[in-house]
Structure 1
Amino acid sequence: MADVLRYAAFTTDPAGGNPAGVVLDAGGLDDDTMQAIAAEVGYSETAFVTGEGAVRPVRYFSPKAEVPFCGHATVATAVALAERIGPGEIVFDTKAGRVPVVVDEELRATLTSVEPHVEAADLADVLDILRWSPDDLDPELPPRVGYAGARHLVLGTATRQRLADLDYDFDRLLAYMLERDLTTLQLVWRESPTVYHVRDPFPVGGVVEDPATGAAAAAFGAYLRELGLAQPTITLHQGHDLGRPSLITVELRPDDPRIRVSGHAVPIAS
């Protein structure tokens, strides 16, 4: 089996954040082997660096399927590389496009997303699947699908309690998401214009919930900009309801449509 590193992303505590598998030398692995490794690791994603050089190709596998882009595994991989070759900029060539990542001296990584977009959302039966009612939604955060490397349905809830009481039909949500090519649901509660609490069901990856989702954070930044709610810096709190608190910083620059997502990553002891 390939040498699999394990990192917790968007945290400085190995017991927090979102665990990611990282394989830095995956050039000789075929698709089936990468999928099998990701399933054995069991984390929401494992990143496979399949080449070297100034631009490094990277692929991401959940326990169930390959995904085009994964933010927390990108942060984990960038920090793992920086620990070995030193801080600076790394460019990853993903299936969604090229993603530059800058790792500073404190091993905090900032990725720059591919160019995002936002589109209308088809709610269909999703509220019933989540066991929510229309009254649970925040009218100032209307449903949309955000994309910044992967597609995420954004739903805003009016209360923190509704966010805390997450109890959905796994199989029905899986079918709903597969039909619409969604990677996660980004369920959000707004504490203030710059602070949000989020949860991300991820049944398409075989995972009930992600404790930190960098790709969804980037998509959410695009969503806020589309709605005229953008701030220069947004803080997302995720994973608290799972006992794995995560801290994600989203930066929106007026001169660049791409979204910057930042966080730390730390090794998880074998």
Structure 2
Amino acid sequence: MTEVMRYAAFTTTPTGGNPAGVVLDARELSNAEMLAIAAELGYSETAFLHPTDERQYQIQYFSPLSEVAFCGHATIAASIALGEQIGPGTVNLATQAGPVPVEIAADPTGGLIATLTSPPTSTRQASEEETRPALAALGWSADDVDPDYPAHVASAGNDHLVLAAASRGRLADLNYDFDVLGKIMTDLGWTTIHLFWPESPVVFHARNPFPPGGVVEDPATGAAAAAFTGYLRTLGRLKDGTVLTIHQGVDMGRPSLLTCSTIPGDSRVKVSGTAVPIQ
């Protein structure tokens, strides 16, 4: 019988953060069986680990609809679950998007905190042909977008359309056409759309529609947070080593806290967070 663990990531309470399924030993499972488990669980992602050596794992991520190359919140959840069994230290995860080392350390509150190093980040300006239908499906007008932050397609293992809301109220009012936006994103290869509003140069509020995964909205999206951090660095908004705070999930009643930082001379990004079991 496969043991499926349930964790809420990027939170200190089971009612916050982004729920993820975790299977610590999936070596006997086929892709079809893993997809079926993820679909039955219904979380945005479930992480399946395949131990290969001491503190070395291959890892696969499945949404209820398909396999995903990389998922940040499920990585944090799986790493905390591992840390509770094998103790603090570094674990090395082999993802479809490349190697992802994770540092697991004791948290001052008495629990554990995990810091992943993302796959390499990249970003490019989104074309009007890409953004126009996405804005229409979101129900946003051109005035709803902050011109100080150009629309980009940013990546850290997966591609995400990055759009800046002109106000906190615009970000809070999310009511989009699920089927239309999902088709646009699937056709263009976008995993989520990272909608954000800047509270300050280093504090941001974010929401992430995820219709290609069968989920209306992600309460915390580590992969998108890493891609977004790379986007800000490319725009010259972040110096290397600057710590970025992202609040997500607040508007859907599952507040999440993600902490990101750049690495000098490296396109990768560090993303930190906690996770707690869901009973």
- Alignment partner, residue 115 of structure 1: 120
- Alignment partner, residue 148 of structure 1: 156
Question: 1:55: how far off?
Answer: 2.4
Question: 1:148: how far off?
Answer: 0.5
In the alignment, the residues of structure 2 paired with residue 264 and residue 47 of structure 1 have an alpha-carbon distance, to the nearest angstrom, of 16
Question: 1:252: how far off?
Answer: 1.2
The answer as to 2:93 corresponding to 1:101 is no
In the alignment, the residues of structure 1 paired with residue 208 and residue 99 of structure 2 have an alpha-carbon distance, to the nearest angstrom, of 24
Cα deviation code 1:147-200 (max 9, x no counterpart): 011111000011000000000000000110011100000000000001000000
The answer as to 2:197 corresponding to 1:196 is no
The answer as to 2:271 corresponding to 1:261 is yes
Gaps of 5+ in 1: none
In the alignment, the residues of structure 1 paired with residue 235 and residue 141 of structure 2 have an alpha-carbon distance, to the nearest angstrom, of 23
- Alignment partner, residue 93 of structure 2: 92
TM-score, normalised to structure 1, is 0.98
| Pairing partner for 2:247 from 208, 233, 237 | 237
What percentage of residue pairs aligned between the two structures are identical?
Answer: 57
| Pairing partner for 2:215 from 186, 204, 207 | 207
Gaps of 5+ in 2: none
The answer as to 2:15 corresponding to 1:10 is no
Partner of 1:12, secondary structure, is coil
The answer as to 2:233 corresponding to 1:225 is yes
In the alignment, the residues of structure 2 paired with residue 245 and residue 52 of structure 1 have an alpha-carbon distance, to the nearest angstrom, of 35
The answer as to 2:183 corresponding to 1:175 is yes
Match for 1:118: what amino acid?
A: T
- Alignment partner, residue 56 of structure 1: 57
Partner of 1:262, secondary structure, is strand
Partner of 1:167, secondary structure, is coil
- Moved segments of 4+, more than 4 Å: none
- Alignment partner, residue 33 of structure 1: 33
Partner of 2:80, secondary structure, is helix
Cα deviation code 1:45-72 (max 9, x no counterpart): 0000022314200000000110000000
Question: 1:115: how far off?
Answer: 1.1
Over the residues paired in the alignment, what is the CA RMSD in angstroms? 0.9
In the alignment, the residues of structure 1 paired with residue 115 and residue 84 of structure 2 have an alpha-carbon distance, to the nearest angstrom, of 15
Contact 2:122–2:267, Cα closer than 8 Å, also in 1: no
